[in-house]
A and B are shown apart, each in its own frame.
Chain A
Amino acid sequence: MKTNDLILQTATKITVFIILAYSLNLFFAGHNTPGGGFIGGLISAAAIVLLLLAFDMKTVKKALPFDFKKVAALGLLIAALTGIGSFLFDVPFLSHTFGYFDLPIFGHTELATAVLFDTGVYLVVVGVTLTIIQTIGEDDD
């Protein structure tokens, strides 16, 4: 018998965006309040896991056509490159800096290079989590 997941799928379509927005909020809030790349990445991954539960592996792969192993590697690369960036300014490896900018919508904003490192962490966490889940999910064939 084929089950009908209409309610689950409709609810998922709305909830996923709320979860993703929350994860981005946590990711950017990490500097001054609890949050950061790790928890942000985990919650983003949780949103995609919800998609996997409501739909099937094929649909989700069509919607997000990434090789998540490469996503994790890309995250590592970004994190390593932010460290190497300090070589250009002749300061020790992994030195970070920050500055204040007047941006169009946000107004007076503090931008820190540590966010770039966190982006790397975020991508690694998303990539690793989804690689694990997809590999286990695909195992039976």
Chain B
Amino acid sequence: MNNFVILPILIPLLTGIILIFVNKYTKASRVISLLSTLLTVILSLILVNQVYQNGIQTLNLGDWDAPFGIVLVADLLASLLVTTGSIVVLACILYSFKNIGQEREKFFYYAAVQFLMVGVLGAFLTGDIFNLFVFFEVMLMASYVLIVHGGTKPQLRESIKYILVNVISSALFVIAVAYLYAVTGTVNMADLSAKISELGQPGIVTVISILFLVVFGLKGAIFPLFFWLPGSYNAPPTPITALFGALLTKVGVYSIIRTFTIIFYHDTGFTHTLIGILAGFTIVVGVVGAVAYWDVKQIIIYNILTAVGVILVGVATLTPTSLTGSIYYLIHDMIIKASLFLLVGAMVVITGTSNLKKMGGLINHHPYLGWMFFIATISLAGIPPFSGFIGKLLIVKGSLAAEHYVLVAAILISSLLVLYSVMKIFINGFWGEAKLRKEEEKGSTKGLLFPITLLLSLSIALGFGAEWFYPYISQAAQDLTDPSIYIQAVLKE
């Protein structure tokens, strides 16, 4: 019994409720949501340390023992992602103060952000597949509110598509859980894993696993289920897009990692080969989109796809090295995607357009912004001292050992094209003749740069301090490669 595990979910939940009461008072809402998110970050850091010192922490909700009640499981992967997720939310809230506008702030904006956080952190921490569904819905409901928040025309149009796609994928999720329950008679992940290894994963379970891949693929935007993402993520304001880009697809990816390392790992020849093929295509589609567009937001959005593909290559390979790489890259990507969206948002604030061809020479007046963007760029592409490098290196190393040469080639070439796509923003947006004089600029970046600095310094630390982070992450991967540790911790047999 360890009630500490619930706190990263409980605190945003309580904050969200309180924010409904004080929605008319903007200042109070800001202070409350900032302080509570800070508290969540601190608590999740303590949680990481606890898990690292004492092994997997579990909490049987309502004092019912594991396979019968709902259990929250904080292993190292979950608690690291909880920490990263809450840091990203913190930065996005800080950014919202200057960027989101009074009217949106008064209409339950901060409450919706807190509920989104409840859903995301809950999905990371749960050890029960139906509870995972519930937290998915909490997250999605909050994201429906946020995507349409403000009610501009593009937001209304895109939210219809977004909701339609997610309602269908949620229905598929319920169906998949129902099939799995019919075959195994349990919804607890540890118990599922034990039951399925007794059965030796018969054909029907493989079918169900593919259904789960489709469901999580729709949430996490893998090829060919990514079609809703480019439009939907382009519609809402910057901090909301940053939250979505950094958190929502990553929850889908996390669910794939979780289910395919703990539950469905007996028929890897079929399932993990399929994941590998889809990951390869996801990378290709991502870079094609990123290279093709001249819209700064779209370029970053397509880069999400590439990153999802790269992370899944590590899962498809399923060796300790590549899984470590995947987790490293997952954490790196949550941070760097958030900071890239926020940076691009600042560019849009200055120029009043997201069309790259109408920008130019921003570095004359905004050197700090320019060089921050440069650092984010090379970190995204994976240039050695920065955080993108280690993850990709480990994934490539693991995949080479498993002789997945095509996937390795895809990752390496995609890195080049990713670098090209974001350098295109840097070169065309920041260099060259200034298109706008200082007084013609549409807005100021005052207050927007601090949250970006926060994220970027974390990203730099993740790269330079790799020695310090590595034990945590490789330990997380170790736990994933040996499901019996997880089962032992939950079922206590």
Taking CB atoms, residues of chain A closer than 8 Å to B363 are none
Pairwise interchain contact B20-A93, C-beta atoms closer than 8 A: no
A76, A91, A95, A96: the one within 8 Å of B17 (CB):
A76
A73, A87, A92: the one within 8 Å of B61 (CB):
A92
Within 8 A of B (CB), among A89-133: 91-96
Give Cα distance in the complex from A76 to B15, angstroms. Answer: 11
Pairwise interchain contact A92-B60, C-beta atoms closer than 8 A: yes
Question: When A and B form their complex, what is the total count of cross-chain residue pairs whose Cβ atoms lie within 8 Å?
Answer: 40
Known contacts: A80-B10, A84-B10. The answer to whether A93 contacts B17 by CB under 8 A is no
Contact of B6 with A by CB under 8 A: yes
Pairwise interchain contact A96-B20, C-beta atoms closer than 8 A: no
Known contacts: A92-B3, A93-B3. The answer to whether A73 contacts B17 by CB under 8 A is yes
Give Cα distance in the complex from A86 to B59, angstroms. Answer: 13
Q: Which residue of A lies closest to B61 (CB)?
A: A94
Q: Which residue of B lies closest to A78 (CB)?
A: B17
Contact of A31 with B by CB under 8 A: no
Give Cα distance in the complex from A96 to B62, angstroms. Answer: 7
Contact of A77 with B by CB under 8 A: yes
Pairwise interchain contact B3-A87, C-beta atoms closer than 8 A: yes
Contact of B439 with A by CB under 8 A: no
Pairwise interchain contact A73-B20, C-beta atoms closer than 8 A: yes
Taking CB atoms, residues of chain A closer than 8 Å to B14 are 77, 80
Pairwise interchain contact B63-A92, C-beta atoms closer than 8 A: yes
Taking CB atoms, residues of chain A closer than 8 Å to B1 are 91-92
Pairwise interchain contact B63-A95, C-beta atoms closer than 8 A: yes
Give Cα distance in the complex from A69 to B108, angstroms. Answer: 11
Taking CB atoms, residues of chain B closer than 8 Å to A69 are 20
Give Cα distance in the complex from A61 to B6, angstroms. Answer: 39
Contact of B25 with A by CB under 8 A: no
Dominant SS at the B interface? Answer: helix
Interface size, B (range): 10 to 19
How many residues of chain A are within 8 Å of chain B by beta carbon? 17
State how many angstroms separate the Cβ of B101 from the closest Cβ of chain A. Answer: 21
State how many angstroms separate the Cβ of B21 from the closest Cβ of chain A. Answer: 6
Give Cα distance in the complex from A83 to B13, angstroms. Answer: 12
Pairwise interchain contact B62-A95, C-beta atoms closer than 8 A: yes
Within 8 A of A (CB), among B37-74: 59-63
B17, B59, B61, B62: the one within 8 Å of A80 (CB):
B17
Q: Which residue of B lies closest to A76 (CB)?
A: B17
Within 8 A of B (CB), among A35-82: 69-70, 72-73, 76-77, 80
State how many angstroms separate the Cβ of A2 from the closest Cβ of chain B. Answer: 36
Give Cα distance in the complex from A81 to B1, angstroms. Answer: 19
State how many angstroms separate the Cβ of A82 from the closest Cβ of chain B. Answer: 11
Give Cα distance in the complex from A84 to B9, angstroms. Answer: 12
Taking CB atoms, residues of chain B closer than 8 Å to A83 are 10
Give Cα distance in the complex from A42 to B160, angstroms. Answer: 27
Give Cα distance in the complex from A73 to B22, angstroms. Answer: 11
Pairwise interchain contact B21-A93, C-beta atoms closer than 8 A: no
Pairwise interchain contact B13-A93, C-beta atoms closer than 8 A: no
State how many angstroms separate the Cβ of A89 from the closest Cβ of chain B. Answer: 11
Give Cα distance in the complex from A125 to B21, angstroms. Answer: 17
Q: Which residue of B lies closest to A73 (CB)?
A: B20
Pairwise interchain contact A70-B17, C-beta atoms closer than 8 A: no
Give Cα distance in the complex from A103 to B128, angstroms. Answer: 40
State how many angstroms separate the Cβ of B362 from the closest Cβ of chain A. Answer: 43
Taking CB atoms, residues of chain B closer than 8 Å to A86 are 3
Interface residues of B, Cβ cutoff 8 Å to A: 1, 3, 6, 10, 13-14, 17-18, 20-21, 59-63
The 5 closest A-B pairs by CB, nearest first: A73-B20, A95-B63, A94-B62, A93-B6, A76-B17
Q: Other than the known A73-B20, A92-B59, what 20 A-B pairs have Cβ atoms closer than 8 Å?
A: A70-B20, A70-B21, A73-B17, A76-B17, A77-B14, A77-B17, A80-B13, A80-B14, A80-B17, A86-B3, A91-B63, A92-B1, A92-B60, A92-B62, A93-B3, A93-B59, A93-B61, A94-B61, A94-B62, A95-B62
